[in-house]
Amino acid sequence: MLIFLLSIALVLGAVGVFIGNVAVSEQGELGFGFQQMIHARVPWALIAPALAGAGLGVYSLVRAPRWYKWPIVPVQVLLAGLLTVYFTTLSSLPNHRLALAVGDPFPSYSLVDQDGRLHTFDSSFEPSESSSESSDGGRPALYVFYRGDW
């Protein structure tokens, strides 16, 4: 019985840490285990307890089959499997190639910043060779695409 209760605690604990971090608190801070979820390529410290709990649940069911274990163990296996699939497959960014090569013109855009101001750039505007003016008034621009630290 102790192994079965431990299996429930491991699976529900891992899923609880995941859900607790997905549902960000009102202060905007992540809870326990967020370092693993954000910084690890595959957060094995969150996946391992779920898989261990599911394994212990199956072991407990095979060792001493009881009626109350039959509905719980499949749910444990399903939750551990979904958590594993999410972190190993679904949360990964797809392979990509650079959209621009060196020397390619920057594409046109119209974006709103964090203060609600509209910023635009028209790449179809070709300044004459005698003019150094561009569509943005001749000011140089630096574009930074910050993806976060994950």
Residue 62 has pLDDT above 50, yes or no: yes
DSSP 67-91: TTHHHHHHHHHHHHHHHHHIIIIIT
Give 34's contacts (C-beta < 8 A, 6+ positions apart): 21
Higher pLDDT, 45 or 70: 70
Q: pTM score, two decimals?
A: 0.58
- 8 A C-beta contact, residue 28 and residue 47: no
Mean pLDDT, all residues of the chain? 77
Residue 93 has pLDDT above 70, yes or no: no
pLDDT for the residue numbered 133: 42
pLDDT for the residue numbered 89: 79
